[in-house]
Amino acid sequence: MAAAGAEHEELKQEEYLDVLTRTGEKTGISKSRGDVHRDGDYHRAVHVWIYSESTHELLLQKRADCKDSWPGLWDISSAGHISASDSSLISAMRELHEELGIVLPKDAFELIFVFLQECVINDGTFINNEYNDVYLVTTLDPIPLEAFTLQESEVSAVKYLSLDVYRDLLAEEDPDYVPYDVNGGYHQIFEIIRKRYKVNLEERSLTLEKQLNRYARISLNAELTGLTSADKETLAIIIRAAAIMDEIFYLQVWYSNPSLRDWLKECANKSKLDKLKWEYYQVNKSPWSCLDENEAFLTTADSAIKLLPKATKAVAGWKGLQYRTAFPIVKPPGANFYPPDMDKMEFELWKSSLSEDQKKEAISFFNVIKRRSEIVLDKTESHDAVVSTNDAHDLYTVPYSVEYKSVLGKAANLLHKAGDLAGSPTLKRLLRRKADAFLSNDYYDSDISWIELDSKLDVTIGPYETYEDGLFGYKATFEAFIGVRDDKATEQVKLFGDQLQVLEKNLPVDNVYKSEEVIAAPIRVIQLLYNSGDVKGPQTVAFNLPNDERIVKDRGTSMVMLKNVSEAKFKLILQPIADVCISKEQREFVDFDSFFTHTICHECCHGIGPHTITLPNGKKSTVRLELQELHSALEEAKADIVGLWALKFLINKGLLPKSLVKSMYVSFLAGCFRSVRFGLEEAHGKGQALQFNYLFENGAIVLHSDETFSVNLDKVEGIVESLSREILTIQARGDKNMARILLQKYSVMTQPLKVALRNLELVQVPVDIVPDFPIADKILHQITED
């Protein structure tokens, strides 16, 4: 096995490396390269492979004869250590530049897997315990050999070799090649490329069609007769600003995501397969499928092609290097909010070095975390040299107002313009404050204005939800929901907001964990006209905002119900689910009013229960900060199950009719199957699986011989209260370990759930909807034409 750690022995004797734990996390300790290999410390390196798409060949380098390991043998295109001051990506770029004279931007590098190499060479004097980040650079054609500039101390020659021939040579342990175990972990490089380029196009089209057919397309309109001419003019400008949220969100998902989007759109009419790729991409807004545990449905082979005329030495008659913009096979848990190679340990070590104010910035909703060593990457897509810095800590924060300055400036100008036209004083105030927030990065006042909004035009726009941040659940994504208020329905749901303090006081949790000051959440029911940004895959039917605990504590939250979305989901999804999964005796109890009422109560219950908490050691904190990446799933489960408890409480108090009892429980059961189909990587699906499996295990849900389900009406109330108590207590204590145990035990695809999902698959009940917005589309189309 080649040792990237044995490279540059003479030139880099004083190079320092980060020492890792056995599981690959940073310890905060760095040691000299020689000491690391003497002591057998775990550390990191990069492997970079260059692959020619047209010829199916890999580029190999011949190691210089002066090398102290594997001299004169053929090896990886490029490899090297990750220095303590560098990131993985910077190291990959640097090694390629130093060894081969190739300068590539960051979107050319695809991290395909991480390989742990544990070996001892040189008669036991060199211990190599190395985590290798394996990158693939995909070029359209081979790079002419005369275009390379070889580093004589490292590389004596380069050549291209067929993927299959190279694998066979390794399998035969050819003495001219550095040995790699192609039956072990390193076989992935060959399997990934083979699978990518030997796919059956017809089968792939059928797969994409099947994935698309899980969504029912529906046109959502709203009655505009209640709007004045000024309102309609304001609406048109707001929709233009809302469309900009898409631009930011695509970038928040992954840095090469906008390039992929533009390429797929450009190529959509080339073939049936290209059209399907584009259509399914529009549903997911990324190459990862929301309903398939974020499994990639595209590969870098589907991505945009870019030309770099000056990436290498000039060669007569060659126009330059063409490469595919890359994205990782596995969806990055930190999205584009953090450096892709940053782990939790590194973040926590950095955070511990900060002042209290800086710590608040690090975990705030409205900034991204970057590396100083990668500053050059964010200034230009092409550069002549790769540089790094030697700061004690590589990480630093960048406010959203800086990171997305150009697009937020456009959105702010539009919102100011709309605010000048708006007739409603509260809408005028909201639009102006939100515009200011886009530029200042301070969203407090604008979120207060959003809570106070009292306007026929309902506008939610800005950074709110944190589901995309799978590392910590800290960072907010941009989104927009534009609608027209349904005055009649809004008046009907006022009861729930008025009862929040009563519900808090009677929650099934110890009194010490209850709040004395819960502020009633205003509830607005709207007919949705347009949404954008972080709205992908399954569509939300309601939301409760803001998530900022300061505002929740000071002013409470506000809730928006999307009634036309709820009606569409009930008709196209929930009713057909009930027909398949609910026992004949209870099927009649599934109705829209119960479904919509529980949705309202779900959103209300986000506003009660623990938020700001006191830990056992007396420290003040929040549930979100303590549970981190587990918070979203557990909070969704809490809102759901406590919502059921709350409905029964209000019925017992005579505030809701007793006729609702059976229908709310049975409609909830049908809704379990709906949400679990979103996938167990998604917060709502994970939270719903927890509830279903807990209730099933305790006898509140029953599976019959005909593979239908029913609610045990004698047991369900007590079991709902029991699960509510368990979740609320975990949140109140900020007990991440117990949260993990609960989710690991119950947020799984059990056999009863598999039975239900298999039967729904057989009759092809849609999983969710894809809305079209004709009113907004007309406005945006007119802008495009102008």
Average pLDDT, the chain: 91
**How many angstroms separate the CA atoms of 729 and 36, rounded?**
45
Per DSSP, 249 falls in state H
Look at residue 753 in the predicted model and tell me its pLDDT: 96
Tell me what pLDDT residue 34 has. 86
Give helix 716-733 / helix 631-652 axis angle, nearest 10°.
130
DSSP H helical ranges for 294-399: 344-352, 356-362, 375-379
**Secondary structure, 3-state, 169-214:** HHHCCCCCECCCCCCCHHHHHHHHHHHHHCCCHHHHHHHHHHHHCC
CA neighbor of 493 nearest in space, from 485, 505, 504: 485
The 10 Å Cβ neighbour count of residue 463 is 27
pLDDT, average across residues 439-456: 96
DSSP assignment of 548-581 equals -HHHHHHH--EEEEEHHHHHHHIIIIIHHHHHHH
Q: Is the pLDDT of residue 233 over 70?
A: yes
Per-residue DSSP letter, 537: S
**Distance (Å, rounded) from C-alpha 413 to C-alpha 484?**
23
Dist. CA 467–CA 672, nearest whole Å = 20
What is the pLDDT, as a whole number, of residue 123?
74
Least confident of 289-303, 512-526, 575-589: 512-526
Q: What is the pLDDT of residues 174-195, one digit of tens each?
A: 999 999 889 888 899 999 999 9
Over range 564-574, report the average pLDDT.
95
DSSP per residue, 653-721: TTSS-TTHHHHHHHHHHHHHHHHHTT-TTSHHHHHHHHHHHHHHHTTSEEE-TTS-EEE-TTTHHHHHH
The Cα 544–Cα 638 span in angstroms is 14
DSSP run (H or E) holding 526: strand 523-533
Question: What's the mean pLDDT in 148-154?
Answer: 95
Which pLDDT score is estimated for 492?
Answer: 80
Report whether pLDDT(785) > 70. Answer: no
Distance CA 664, CA 509 (A): 23
Structure confidence at residue 502 as a pLDDT band (50, 70, 90): very high
Taking only the tens place, the pLDDT of each residue in 66-98 is 987 789 999 999 999 998 878 899 999 999 999
Q: Residue 652: is its pLDDT beyond 90?
A: yes
Compute the residue count for the chain. 786
The tens digit of pLDDT for each residue in 206-226 reads 999 999 999 999 999 888 888
DSSP state of 582: B
How far apart CA 748 and CA 754 sit, in angstroms, is: 10
Determine the residue type at 517.
E
Are 4 and 130 spatial neighbours (Cβ–Cβ below 8 Å)?
yes
Q: How confident is the model at residue 392 (pLDDT cuts 50, 70, 90)?
A: low
Q: In angstroms, what CA-CA distances link 7 with 15, 78, 86, 128?
A: 11, 11, 16, 12
Task: Tell me the C-alpha distance between 747 and 691, whole Å.
Answer: 8
Strands 26-32 and 16-20: antiparallel
pTM for this entry: 0.84
Nearest to 526 by CA among 460, 573, 476: 460
Which of 391, 416, 432, 446 lies closest to 84 in space, CA to CA?
391
Q: What is the per-residue pLDDT for 205?
A: 97
Question: Could you tell me if residue 142 is left (phi over 0), alpha (psi between -120 and 50 degrees) or otherwise beta?
Answer: beta
Report whether the peptide linkage leading into residue 340 is cis, meaning its omega lies within 30 degrees of zero.
Answer: no
Instruction: Give the list of residues 6+ apart from residue 134 with CB closer than 8 angstroms, or none.
Output: 46, 47, 49, 111, 112, 113, 114, 115, 188, 189
What pLDDT is stored for residue 220 in this prediction?
Answer: 94
pLDDT of residue 384: 37
User: Average pLDDT of 124-147?
Assistant: 93
Q: Cα 554 to chain center, whole Å?
A: 29
Please tell me the chain's helix, strand, coil percentages from 3-state DSSP, rounded to the nearest 5. 45, 20, 35
Q: Do the strands 215-219 and 768-772 form a parallel or antiparallel pair, or are they unpaired? A: parallel
pLDDT at 181: 87
pLDDT of residue 2: 46
pLDDT score at 10: 41
- What pLDDT score was predicted for residue 379? 53
Rounded mean pLDDT, 455-475: 96
Q: What average pLDDT does range 682-693 have in this prediction?
A: 92
What pLDDT does 763 receive? 87
Q: How far apart are CA 652 and CA 658, in angstroms?
A: 8
Residue 573 has pLDDT above 70, yes or no: yes
pLDDT at residue 738 greater than cutoff 70 = yes
Model pLDDT, residue 269: 97
Higher pLDDT, 461 or 518: 461
Nearest of 199, 218, 381 to residue 307 by alpha carbon: 381
371 pLDDT more than 70: yes
* 122 has a pLDDT exceeding 90: no
Burial class (CB in 10 A: 0-12, 13-18, 19+), 594: buried
Tell me: pLDDT of 390 over 60. Answer: no
